Structure 1
């Protein structure tokens, strides 16, 4: 039993080291900074909110040609917005880092580490 507790402590210590390493990584720091810039950019935030609102409207059955056209226009504006593009690029880089990490862990343990089992409670 003592060895099991010791192993669990070692895993916890290594996990804390991993978390600190991720937090200190340039990729994560860029992701956090891009999110902060996005949150501070009221124009970009309003554009994202409007886009999400139109998407929800479409999902509730308001999928007319006018709504589709508005969504395309909003998407084009988002594609032209530097703050949004920087945040999306930083997010993609961070997700890629985490996927690479998952791949290394999965290879080391011989099974998929962060595997989604799907479903849910409801």
Structure 2
């Protein structure tokens, strides 16, 4: 094994350790549990689908106040839905954890490692 192969293997080994540590974390486990709960909650998934459909309709068509009102009503229902809120909070916590690891990597290598362009459900 040459030096490059040895270094690549060392990086892969450390990456596997990192992934295992991440998947063992409470933050990740809560995200998985919240995702499973969301998948099992037909009311919550229907709200999310309806929200996305109305959002797309609003973007594709000319501005329609009635669609905007429906969108706001659905968003209010989503805010009141415990399953959706639990998932959003768990997703935010996981993203924050991963952003923190990204920041540490960036600091260690002296360069921006990865850049977030936003996203998420909330």
Q: TM-score, normalised by structure 2?
A: 0.92
State the Cα distance separating 1:115 from its structure 2 match. Answer: 3.3
Structure-2 residue corresponding to 1:59: 59
Structure-2 residue corresponding to 1:36: 36
CA distance, structure 1, for counterparts of residue 53 and residue 63 of structure 2: 12
CA distance, structure 2, for counterparts of residue 38 and residue 9 of structure 1: 38
Structure-2 residue corresponding to 1:46: 46
CA distance, structure 1, for counterparts of residue 115 and residue 69 of structure 2: 37
Structure 1 unaligned spans of 5+: 117-122
* 1:108-119 equivalent positions in 2, closer than 5 A: 108-115=108-115
Structure-2 residue corresponding to 1:84: 84
Which stretch of structure 1 is more off in the superposition, 61-70 or 43-52? 61-70
CA distance, structure 2, for counterparts of residue 44 and residue 115 of structure 1: 30
Q: Tell me, what secondary structure is at the counterpart of 1:63?
A: coil
CA distance, structure 2, for counterparts of residue 67 and residue 82 of structure 1: 24
Structure 2 unaligned spans of 5+: 117-122
Q: Tell me, what secondary structure is at the counterpart of 1:92?
A: helix
CA distance, structure 2, for counterparts of residue 115 and residue 96 of structure 1: 13
CA distance, structure 1, for counterparts of residue 62 and residue 27 of structure 2: 39
State the Cα distance separating 1:63 from its structure 2 match. Answer: 2.6
State the Cα distance separating 1:59 from its structure 2 match. Answer: 1.2
Structure-1 residue corresponding to 2:93: 93
Number of aligned residues: 117
Give 4+ residue runs of structure 1 displaced > 2 Å after superposition. Answer: none
Q: TM-score, normalised by structure 1?
A: 0.92
